[in-house]
Structure 1
Amino acid sequence: MDPNNGNLNAFSFESFFEAWLVRQKRYLDELLSAQHSSHEARQDDHRELINRVLYHYQQYYEEKSRVAKWDVFLMFSPPWFTDLERAFLWIAGFKPNLLFRLISSSVNDMTEDQSQRMDRLVVETRMEEKALNDELAKIQESLGAPSLVNAIKSYGSTARDGETAGGGDDSVIGGLRRALEKVVANADMLRATTAEKVALILTPAQMVKVLAAVAQLQLKVRSLGLQRYAERQNVGY
């Protein structure tokens, strides 16, 4: 395989991500507007908007999965993210538990039944997160002395020098790649299924609030990350 294809895949995803963020901003405007028209008669409109937003996220994960199959190491330190965005990463994405924090801060009218169902989902999700953390720890332990982060950095430096392509299959790196691909795929599945289960618990109006909170947080972190990067550039860091 051409060693330059890894860089081409990264560039392709970065272009996709920039366009995806533009659409994310548009959806945020729609979500915020929908919050002011939460009358019962607008529930169908809310459901239609929710479905479009969830499909928007599905497109992101499908494209991310395509790049991860080529070079999963990119997912742990994405060059298209700022340092601040990378600080929020948990197994190449957001931690599902973060969604429950946003629900708590944006939805204050859940019924007792909704609260009980949400509490059960929180416990279930935390157990799934722990299982994935344990799996990642096993992968790191299997490396021996080098840490997972060092191994990824080492791979990244050789890849940038053209010595290793995303499709390369050195016995150690190849085994690490396959293990990480599985963990990332399972983490993405947990992120997706958690959102789907939340949507089944909340009313359309409540879900609109949550999706707006998610988009606002993501775009705010993105904006602050870019601002900090620009500040560092200006002072010569």
Structure 2
Amino acid sequence: MHKYRRIKHQSCLQVLRRLAQNREAARKSRLRKKAYVQQLETSRVKLNQLEQELDRIRQAGCHAGAPCKIDQRHPGVAAFDMEYAHWVEEQNQLLCKLRTALTVNIPDSDLQSIVDTGITHYDNLFRLKSNAVKADVFHIVSGMWKTPAERCFMWMGGFRPSDLLKIVIPQLGQLAEQQLLAICSLQQSSQQAEDALSQGMEALQQNLAETLSTSPHAASNVANYMGQMATAMGKLGTLENFVLQADNLRQQTLHQLNRILTIHQGARSLLAIGDYFFRLRALSSLWVARPRE
């Protein structure tokens, strides 16, 4: 009889444990369902927002091939445009100082100080551009911060280092054999780096084109469309890296050239570079102001 009561007690405990386990499992299941429902609701709201955004874009004419009029400029871009305008003003002042220094033959120590200031001034520009690239890489690549004539000669958001060397070398006068060899080596390495970056950019453009290519019926599928856009957005990070690498190449080329040259040659190189871009800006102004029939 005692044994029967003990077995019955154990059986009751097992039943109670199973009931408790079932209640806990049911509670967890309800929590999972609640979380799932909340997730579905959040996704539904986001999808509705995306659909509304797509409708707004279509109405603006984007899907019909017309340019979008939506102003989505990053505040950092507007700040960069202002800072760049100020940079150009300071650059013009530096050019005047360099030209005067070369004319009156000031002491080498004073001339070296002006050359160092000129190199630092370009370093500041690359720092400004780095921040602007992170804000909106398209603004830098498109050259909207430059004059139209300058944009014609742009490569990946700036000048080609190898082309700049071609502009500078004729203005340096007589060069020592060791200097000529060093400059030729610098020009060759710059050209190779440019070619590698250009090939990478071409591959990125092809990759983006393939990502954005779609069948005639896929454009109406919001999920597919947003998936394409998300993938393409991820690839644009590579574009930022390319532009930053190109700026690094420009900066390193300027520094290496300056190390190869004498103080007076370094001053003449900075003057040649500055005058070249000054004339491009002047050419743009003359073109805009030209008489029209």
TM-score of the superposed pair, with normalisation by structure 2: 0.66
Distance 1:195 1:32 in 2: 19
Distance 2:147 2:234 in 1: 29
Displacement after TM superposition at 1:104 (Å):
2.0
Distance 2:175 2:105 in 1: 15
Total equivalences in the alignment: 209
* CA 223–177 in structure 1, closer or farther in 2 if over 3 Å, else same: same
* Equivalent in 97, 100, 105 of residue 33 of structure 1: 100
* Equivalent in 136, 150, 163 of residue 85 of structure 1: 150
* Equivalent in 267, 273, 280 of residue 221 of structure 1: 280
Displacement after TM superposition at 1:145 (Å):
5.6
The equivalent residue for 1:193 is: 252
Displacement after TM superposition at 1:4 (Å):
6.1
The equivalent residue for 1:8 is: 75
Name the % identity: 25
* CA 52–222 in structure 1, closer or farther in 2 if over 3 Å, else same: same
Answer whether contact 2:201 2:242 (CA < 8 A) is retained. yes
The equivalent residue for 1:139 is: 204
Distance 1:79 1:198 in 2: 28
Q: Secondary structure at the match of 2:284?
A: helix
Residues 156-195 of structure 1: per-residue CA shift (max 9 Å, x gap): xxxxxxxxxxxxx942442232011000010000000011
Distance 1:5 1:58 in 2: 29
Paired AA for residue 81 in structure 2: E
List alignment gaps of at least 5 residues for structure 1. 148-168
Note the 1:101-180 alignment, pairs <5 A: 101-144=166-209, 170-180=229-239
Which is further off, 194-203 or 43-52?
43-52
The equivalent residue for 1:20 is: 87
Paired AA for residue 70 in structure 1: A
Paired AA for residue 230 in structure 2: S
* CA 59–88 in structure 1, closer or farther in 2 if over 3 Å, else same: same
* CA 181–76 in structure 1, closer or farther in 2 if over 3 Å, else same: same
Answer whether contact 1:73 1:177 (CA < 8 A) is retained. no
Distance 1:64 1:230 in 2: 29
Paired AA for residue 133 in structure 1: S
* Equivalent in 265, 275, 285 of residue 206 of structure 1: 265
Paired AA for residue 168 in structure 2: I
Answer whether contact 1:78 1:86 (CA < 8 A) is retained. yes
Residues 102-132 of structure 1: per-residue CA shift (max 9 Å, x gap): 2222012111111111111111111111111
Paired AA for residue 48 in structure 1: S
Q: Which structure shows the higher helix fraction?
A: 2
Answer whether contact 1:31 1:208 (CA < 8 A) is retained. yes
Distance 2:145 2:248 in 1: 22
Which is further off, 72-81 or 127-136?
72-81
Which is further off, 173-182 or 190-199?
173-182
List alignment gaps of at least 5 residues for structure 2. 1-69, 213-227
* Aligned: 1:76 with 2:141: yes
Q: After the TM superposition, which segments of 4 or more aligned residues of structure 1 sit over 4 Å from their partners? A: none
